[in-house]
Amino acid sequence: MLWTQDYVSRGDFVENKNILEVKNLRTSFFTHVGEVKAIRGVGFHLKEGEAIGIVGESGSGKSVTSMSIMKLIQDPGKIVDGEIIFKEKDLVEFTQKEMQKIRGNEIAMIFQDPMTSLNPVFTIGNQIIEVIRKHKKMSKKEARKKAIEMLTLVGIPSPDKRVDQYPHEFSGGMRQRAMIAMALSCEPSLLIADEPTTALDVTIQAQILELMKNLKNEINTSIILITHDLGVVADVCSRIIVMYGGLIMEEATSEEIFYNPKHPYTKGLLKSIPKIDLGESQRLIPIEGTPPDLLNPPKGCPFAARCSDSMRICKEKQPPYFYTNEEHRAMCWLLHEDAPKTDTKAKGGIAIG
Partner 1 sequence: MGRFIAKRFISMLVTLLFVVTITFFLMHAAPGGPFSREKALPAPILKVIEERFNLDKPVYQQYLIYLKDVAKGDLGPSFQRVGWTVNEIIEKTFPVSAKVGGVSVLLVLILGIPIGIVSALKQNKWQDQLAMFFATLGVTIPSFVIGTLIVHIFSTNLRILPSNGLSTWKHYIGPVIALAGFSLSFVARLTRSSMLEVMQQDYIRTARAKGLSEFTVLTKHALKNALIPVISYVGPLVAAILTGSFVVERIFAISGMGKYFVESVGNRDYTVIMGVTVFYAIFLVVMVFVVDILYGLIDPRIKLDR
Partner 2 sequence: MEENMKIPDYMWETLSREEKDKEKIDRPVMTYWQDVWRRLKKNYLAMIGLVTIILIFLIAIFGPYLSSYTFSDQDLEITNQSMSMKHWFGTDSHGRDLLIRVIHGARVSLTVAVVASIVNFFIGIVYGGISGYMGGKVDNIMMRIVDIISTIPLVLYAIILMVVLKRGLSSVILAIGTIYWVRMARIVRGQILSLKELEYVLAAKTLGASTWRILFRHLIPNAMGPIIVTMTMMIPSAIFTESFLSFIGLGVSAPKPSWGSLASDALGGLTSYPYQLFFPSIAICITMLAFNFLGDGLRDALDPRLRK
Site residues, partner 1 (CB under 8 A): 70, 72, 96, 99-105, 108-109, 111, 113, 116-122, 130-131, 134-135, 166, 168-169, 179, 182
* Complex with partner 2: residue 234 or 311, whichever CB lies closer: 311
- Please provide residue 318's backbone torsions phi and psi, each rounded to the nearest 5 degrees: -70, 130
CA angle 117, 123, 128 (to 5 degrees): 70
Dmax over CA atoms of the chain, in Å, equals: 68
Q: Residue 36 binds what, of partner 2, partner 1, none (CB under 5 to 8 Å, by partner type)?
A: none
User: How many angstroms separate the CA atoms of 315 and 313, rounded?
Assistant: 5
Q: Please, which of residues 263-322 interact with partner 2 by CB under 8 A? A: 298, 304-306, 309-316, 320
Smallest gap from residue 182 Cβ to partner 1 (A)? 7
Sheet hosting strand 239-244, strand order edge to edge: 107-110, 190-194, 222-227, 51-55, 239-244, 247-253, 328-331, 321-325
Contact 223, 239 (CB under 8 A): no
Contact 113, 167 (CB under 8 A): no
User: How many angstroms separate the CA atoms of 161 and 29, rounded?
Assistant: 44
Q: Residue 113 binds what, of partner 1, partner 2, none (CB under 5 to 8 Å, by partner type)?
A: partner 1
User: How many angstroms separate the CA atoms of 265 and 296, rounded?
Assistant: 20
Smallest gap from residue 341 Cβ to partner 2 (A)? 11
Smallest gap from residue 240 Cβ to partner 1 (A)? 24
3-state secondary structure of 30: strand
Smallest gap from residue 207 Cβ to partner 1 (A)? 21
Closest listed residue to residue 228, CA positions, set 110, 113, 56: 56
Q: How would DSSP label each residue in 246-288?
A: TEEEEEEEHHHHHHS--SHHHHHHHHTS--STT-S-----PPP
Contact with partner 2 (CB under 8 A) among 3, 94, 166, 258: 3
Interface size with partner 2, residues (CB under 8 A): 24
Closest listed residue to residue 177, CA positions, set 202, 201, 212, 149: 212
* Complex with partner 2: residue 155 or 298, whichever CB lies closer: 298
Smallest gap from residue 99 Cβ to partner 1 (A)? 8
* Complex with partner 2: residue 36 or 182, whichever CB lies closer: 36
Q: Residue 349 binds what, of partner 2, partner 1, none (CB under 5 to 8 Å, by partner type)?
A: none
Q: Residue 276 binds what, of partner 1, partner 2, none (CB under 5 to 8 Å, by partner type)?
A: none
Q: How many CA atoms lie within 13 A of 238 on its CB side?
A: 11
Q: Residue 179 binds what, of partner 1, partner 2, none (CB under 5 to 8 Å, by partner type)?
A: partner 1
Smallest gap from residue 308 Cβ to partner 2 (A)? 9
3-state secondary structure of 38: strand
* Complex with partner 1: residue 100 or 253, whichever CB lies closer: 100
Smallest gap from residue 266 Cβ to partner 1 (A)? 29
Q: Please, which of residues 202-261 interact with partner 2 by CB under 8 A? A: none
* Complex with partner 2: residue 171 or 289, whichever CB lies closer: 289
Binding site for partner 2 (CB under 8 A): 1-6, 298, 304-306, 309-316, 320, 336, 338-340, 353
